[in-house]
Amino acid sequence: MQRHLSPYFSQHAEAAPLAVFRIFFGIMMFLGVVRFWAYGWIEKFYLEPDFHFTYYGFGWVQPLGGWTYGLFVLCALAALGVALGWRYRWSSVLFFLSFTYIELMDKTTYLNHYYFISLLAFVMIFLPAQAYFSLDAARRKDLRFQQVPRWAIDLLKVMLALVYFYAGLAKLNSDWLLEALPLKIWLPARFDLPVLGGLMGQEWVHYAFSWAGALYDLSIPFLLWYRPTRGIAFALVVIFHTLTAILFPIGMFPYVMIVSALVFFSPGFHRQLLGVAGRRLGVARSRFDTGRAWRPGSLVRDRALKGMLGLFLLAQLLLPWRYLCYPGELFWTEEGFRFSWRVMLMEKSGYVQFKVVRQQDGKWFYVDNTDFLTAFQEKQMSFQPDFILEYAHYLRDHFQAQGHGEVAIYADAFVALNGRPSQRYIDPQRDLAKETESFAHKTWILPFNDEITGL
Amino acid sequence: MKRLSFTLLTGLALLFGCSSDGDPTPGEDPNPQQFDRRPMLENWADNIIIPSYQAFLQAQATLEADFTAFAATPDVSTLQQVRQSWRQAYLSWQRVDMFEMGPAETDGLRLQVNTYPTDVALVESNINAGTYDLALPSNRDAKGFPALDYLLNGLGADDAAIVQQFSANAGYGTYGADVIEDISVRVNAVLTAWQSGYRDTFVNNDGASATASVDRFVNDYIFYYERFLRAGKMGIPLGVFTGTPAPQTLEAYYSPEDAKAFFLEGLDAVQDLFNGRHASGSGPSLASYLRELNTLKDGQALDQRINAQWDAARALVSGLGSFRSEIEENNPPTDMLLAYDQVQAAVPLLKVDMVSAMSIAIDFVDADGD
């Protein structure tokens, strides 16, 4: 293994694709943060709610009150720093930390693509992405390299490929392929689209979109990697993501994916791109063409870094399969659902009413969820067990602090999945105040009344 | 690999090739899931919403006339007459209460007309002061139907005592007339807005997005059901959110027989809207939309299940005594709690099954999805 890998790890490639990736990534993230702010989401998602849903083990990550705006400023500036390649190490570390902190503040806003960005941001810290066409490299000759290790660029490609491929695997289930669900529910609601609208109600369109989507996700990494199909593949990337951007409210993600896919293109393409950009900006690209190849400062550190990134990649490969450790239907329990590139797979909604029972005298009452949660939080809470439990604990603490003594919390919950009739979701006899959060299977989730086969 | 991309390309070419042909001919598709939302919006606006406001204003005009007569010559018979027309107008209000959107939402009509319990001390102090501005937000709980409830039903121990109060202090008559006028002016403005432009805005916004009319309306509709019909008229007085019954928070508290009738009228209004029923028949509705989507629930169509749930709720509520006696004379008020559970049981059907079948987002947060 070592012998085979050694020559691969000593190979170098043009730095231009990595530089282009860095620039686009930074710009996209900067725009993403500005957009988030402009929509008033900082206020709405992080400042208005009294209570935040946290990730297991990350309860200490909380919004910072008025300073939350500062955090977003920091994040935006760091993204700009990444784009410009200015004090790149600091910028990239700062961007990763601030962005990830923001994501960890409330899992109500969890999106796979935010997670993907955190992962990319993490990896970018360790890549010599500032070696070419950056302010750092312009400033200091000793930081200027025309070539970088080949694995640095390949790592980004692998990460993109993983997202697509796993998203494709996740679609190989009976709901998606045999029932065309949830597209059968979502597409007819888009009847008002110009041109496409008339098609959205047709059943064959639901099936065509489902199958084409699965096929696309599974094949696009290979089509992008393989030079002869690359051009077509990129056209498909543009078409696919534009279509999803039109059909679904998925924000920046389609555009991030489109520009990221450029990393598959040849160094020549990226050099041209930077040449054009350089002329526009009055920076000669040739200034960076030193012919020098970037080499790690310390071999030991380089070894450790590669080992760490290797483990990181391995974790990425394994995480999506962790659902196999849990009994029951994944879509129903959502145990192992997040961080697995399971996107757009479910039309799931729920409704939960919490009953608080005072243990001292048996007096009971229901909770008005709007007293504690925003509409968005309530919606996300209503069909995700870990949210339900965390909120139940919050209610327990709240009402005990109010002087009700020891209280039991029961959930009266109904969930509908992919057009099936709603079904009771949580065992109404189980006192959630006494249940604890862990990675173990939650036995108080009632079993799913139906079966979805496939991966 | 090549063959794969070829298949993909032809597939996509097929999709896009067809899309440029425009809409398919109606009637050709064996499985058309093409519910046109526009006729439903028209049915709502033209046959239900606008006529309901008109009917309300008619009842309101009668109330106004009868109150003027009563204030001019307070006696037991004019009192009973005005009380009767107050009840009719309040009943009629239950048929427009759920339309809190567009012009009504701008005005905050529900808060202006039906904030209860009314603040008796504030009513009295306004009357004593003789000057008051009913447009002030601080006066919301001293006006509307609940304030009239106090004036017509709660001012004295019996009819004679109430008549005596009105005879002794002309301020009561003036205040009542002003409160009635305030309601009329506001609802008139809302109706005028519907008739001069908003109706078209409402109907033309017939798309499908978080801000489209159907999506907004369904959200408001469910919100009304959950918050004002279920919780406001039953849940809060029952104390289901606090553990302590609070009969003083009942609608029409001073007229104990009415709270139940008002609830039932509101339930009828909700169900009629769901089924698209109006004075002269019925039209496209949420129920026919669901039928079109062919959503089966436990072998029974979802629209039938929702209707059955409401029928069950109505049967139990109808069997109750007056809400006030149910709550005040039973501890816990078991029968009314059981009836409440039936009213409650419709919420998940609406909020989970119906909106998910229609792909309507249940809040206006325009957050990204993935």
Q: How far apart are the first and last CA of chain A?
A: 31
Overall average pLDDT of the A352-357 stretch: 96
Question: What does the alpha-carbon distance between residue B162 and residue B73 come to, in Å, rounded to a whole number?
Answer: 13
Q: State mean pLDDT over A160-178.
A: 97
Q: Which two tokens stand for residue A353?
A: 């009413």
d(CA A274, CA A268): 10
Give the pLDDT score at A419.
Answer: 86
Q: Which of B2, B363, B368 sits opposite A249 (nearest CB)?
A: B368
Asked if the C-beta of B206 comes within 8 angstroms of chain A's C-beta atoms, the answer is yes
Least confident of A127-136, A318-327, A364-373, B206-215: B206-215
CB contact under 8 Å between B370 and A112, yes or no, is yes
Dihedral sign for Cα A396, A401, A403, A406, please.
positive
Using a CB–CB cutoff of 8 Å, tell me whether B331 touches chain A: no
Q: Looking at the complex, does the CB of residue A28 fall below 8 Å from at least one CB of chain B?
A: no
Chain A: give the shortest CA distance to residue B331, in Å: 12
B-proximal residues of A, 299-328, CB under 8 Å: none
Taking CA–CA distances from B238, the nearest residue in chain A reads A365
Please report the pLDDT score of residue B34 as a whole number. 61
Closest of A384, A390, A393 to residue A350, by C-alpha: A384
Check if B239 contacts A (Cβ < 8 Å): yes
A8-12, A224-228, A354-358 — which is least confidently predicted?
A8-12
Nearest to A198 among B22, B243, B368 (CB): B22
Greatest alpha-carbon pair distance for chain B in Å reads: 96
A351 touches chain B (CB under 8 A): yes
pTM of the model: 0.88
Is the predicted pLDDT of residue A108 greater than 80, yes or no? yes
Provide the pLDDT for residue A198: 83
Residue A128 contacts B, CB cutoff 8 Å: no
Are the beta carbons of B241 and A192 separated by less than 8 Å?
Answer: no
Say how many Å lie between the first and final Cα of chain B, rounded: 28
A43 interface with B at CB cutoff 8 Å: no
Record: contact A374-B365, CB cut-off 8 A: yes
Mark residue A400 as left, alpha or beta (left: phi above 0; alpha: psi -120 to 50; beta: remaining): alpha
Note whether ipTM > 0.95 here.
no
Cβ–Cβ below 8 Å for A215 and B2: no
Which of A185, A229, A376 is facing B363, going by the closest CB pair?
A376
- DSSP classification of residue B138: G
A185–B32 CB contact, under 8 Å = no
Residue A2 has pLDDT above 70, yes or no: no
Picking from A53, A341, A349 by the largest number of B CB atoms within 10 A of its own CB, the best residue to mutate is A349
Name which of A171, A239, A351, A358 to mutate to probe chain B: the one with the most chain B Cβ atoms within 10 A of its Cβ. A351
Contact B370 A253 (CB under 8 A): yes
Q: With helix as H, strand as E and coil as C, how does chain A read? A: CHHHHHHHHHCEEECHHHHHHHHHHHHHHHHHHHHHHHCCHHHHHHHCCCCCCCCCCCCCCCCCCCHHHHHHHHHHHHHHHHHHCCCHHHHHHHHHHHHHHHHHHCHHHCCHHHHHHHHHHHHHHHCCCCCCCCHHHHHCHHHCCCEEEHHHHHHHHHHHHHHHHHHHHHCCEHHHHHCCCCHHHHHHHHCCCCCHHHHCCCHHHHHHHHHHHHHHHHHHHHHHHCHHHHHHHHHHHHHHHHHHHHHCCCCCHHHHHHHHHHHHCCHHHHHHHHHHHHHHHCCCHHHHCCCCECCCCCHHHHHHHHHHHHHHHHHHHHHHHHHHHCCCCHHHHCCCCCCCCCCCCCCEEEEEEEEEEECCCCCEEECCHHHCCCHHHHHHHCCCHHHHHHHHHHHHHHHHHHHHCCEEEEEEEEEEECCCCCEECECCCCCHHHCCCCCCCCCCECCCCCCCCEC
DSSP code of residue B277: E
Q: State how far residue B268 is from chain A, nearest Cα, in angstroms.
A: 24
Q: What is the CA radius of gyration of chain B?
A: 24
Closest alpha carbon within chain A to B204: A192
CB contact under 8 A, B4 and A223: yes
Inform me whether the C-beta atom of residue B231 falls under 8 Å from chain A C-beta atoms: yes
* Cross-chain residue pair A366–B355, CB shorter than 8 Å: no
What is the full per-residue pLDDT of chain B (370 aa) written as tens digits?
Answer: 333 344 444 444 434 333 333 333 333 333 444 678 899 999 999 999 999 999 999 999 999 999 999 999 999 999 999 999 999 999 999 999 999 999 999 999 999 999 999 999 999 999 999 999 999 999 999 999 999 999 999 999 999 999 999 999 999 999 999 999 999 999 999 999 999 999 999 999 988 777 889 999 999 999 999 999 999 999 999 999 998 999 999 999 999 999 999 999 999 999 999 999 999 999 999 999 999 886 555 567 899 999 999 999 999 999 999 999 999 999 889 999 999 999 999 999 999 999 888 888 766 556 677 6
pLDDT band at A455 (very low <50, low <70, confident <90, very high): confident
CA geometry: angle A97, A103, A105, nearest 5 deg: 100
Q: For the stretch B144-173, what's the b/e string if a residue is b when 16 or more beta carbons lie within 10 angstroms of its beta carbon? A: bbbbbbbbbbbbeeebeebbeebeeeebbb
Is B359 in Cβ contact with A223 (below 8 Å)? no
Q: Tell me, what DSSP letter sits at residue B339?
A: H
Q: What is the mean pLDDT of residues A39-64?
A: 96
pLDDT at B366: 61
- H or E stretch including B40? helix B37-42
- Distance from C-alpha of B53 to C-alpha of B50, rounded to nearest angstrom: 5
CB atoms A253 and B368 under 8 Å: yes
> In a 3-state reduction of DSSP, which class is residue B350?
helix
Q: Tokens 């900082």 identify what position?
A: A42
Q: Report pLDDT for B139.
A: 95
**A422, A425, A449, A450, best to mutate vs chain B, most B CBs in 10 Å:** A422
DSSP label of B206: -
Question: Which chain A residues are within 8 Å of B360, Cβ to Cβ?
Answer: 189
Residues 374 to 413 of A: which have CB under 8 A from any B CB?
374-376, 378-379
Distance from C-alpha of B248 to C-alpha of B154, rounded to nearest angstrom = 12
Candidates B96, B84, B87; CA nearest to B55 is B96
Q: Report the residue of chain A nearest B1, measured CA to CA.
A: A223
Pick from B136, B149, B42: nearest CA to B93 = B149
Chain B, 285 to 304: residues with Cβ < 8 Å from chain A are: 293, 295-298, 302
Nearest C-alpha of chain A: how many angstroms from B231?
10
